[in-house]
Amino acid sequence: MRALVQRVSEASVSVDGAMIGQIGPGLMVLVCAMQGDDESRARALADKLSRLRIFRDDEGRMNRALADTGGAALVVSQFTLAADTSRGNRPGFSAAAPPETGELLYNAFADRLSELGHETARGRFGAEMQVALVNDGPVTIWLEN
């Protein structure tokens, strides 16, 4: 599983002009299931994200995790994180899990964040989405397991 994580002061996702997910302070998470991934990897990545210390403490250092802040997560499926640009100018996406598996693992990831007690909003798997966010910091982290 791969995730691109952004610390945000707010974020939202819309489909066909209708907002379907919105959060205040927390994490915007673009997530992609890769070939060979399974539910245990999705859950492990969610656990890692929950403990990732990228929020400021009282001294201004990145020393607090999502669990410490009470922040929310907006989780959006993003198969293009599997892009292979090593040959030519057109990315290849064959390293991404098939759509059926990708959707299952996307939901397992988001479900696990909810189980851990985080407010979790979602995009719509496979849909054309418009994502808006205010990156706080900016802080952007690549996670992979």
What's the confidence (pLDDT) of residue 115? 98
Q: Give the structural domain span for 99.
A: 2-144
Rounded to an integer, the average pLDDT of 73-92 is 95
Cβ-contact 34, 2 below 8 angstroms: yes
User: N- to C-terminal Cα distance for the chain?
Assistant: 6
Domain count across the chain: 1
pLDDT at 71: 94
Active site residue 78: yes
| 80 is an active site residue | yes
Residue 109 falls in the annotated catalytic set: no
Chain segment 17-28, per-residue pLDDT in tens: 999 999 999 999
The share of the chain scoring above pLDDT 90, in percent, equals 98
Reported as a single tens digit per residue, the pLDDT across 92-135 is 999 999 999 999 999 999 999 999 999 999 999 999 999 999 99
Question: Which residues, 6 or more positions from 32, have their beta carbon under 8 angstroms from its beta carbon?
Answer: 1, 2, 3, 77, 78, 79, 80, 81, 82, 96, 102
The pLDDT assigned to 145 comes to: 87
Catalytic residue chosen out of the listed positions 6, 22, 35, 80: 80
Confidence of residue 80 (pLDDT cuts 50, 70, 90): very high
2 neighbors 143 (Cβ within 8 angstroms):
yes
CATH number, domain with residue 100: 3.50.80.10
| The pLDDT value given to residue 2 | 97
Quickly count helices (H) and strands (E) in the chain.
3, 8
Q: What is the pLDDT of residue 90?
A: 95
On the 0-12 / 13-18 / 19+ scale of CB atoms within 10 A, 71 is buried
Q: Which of 6, 35, 55, 78 is catalytic?
A: 78
Contact, 75 vs 103, CB < 8 A? Answer: no
Counting residues of the chain whose pLDDT is more than 70, the rounded percentage is 100
Q: Give buried/exposed letters for 106-142 (b at 16+ CB in 10 A, else e).
A: bbbbbbbbeebebebbbbebeeebeeebeebeeeeee
Of 6, 55, 79, 120, which is the active-site residue? 79
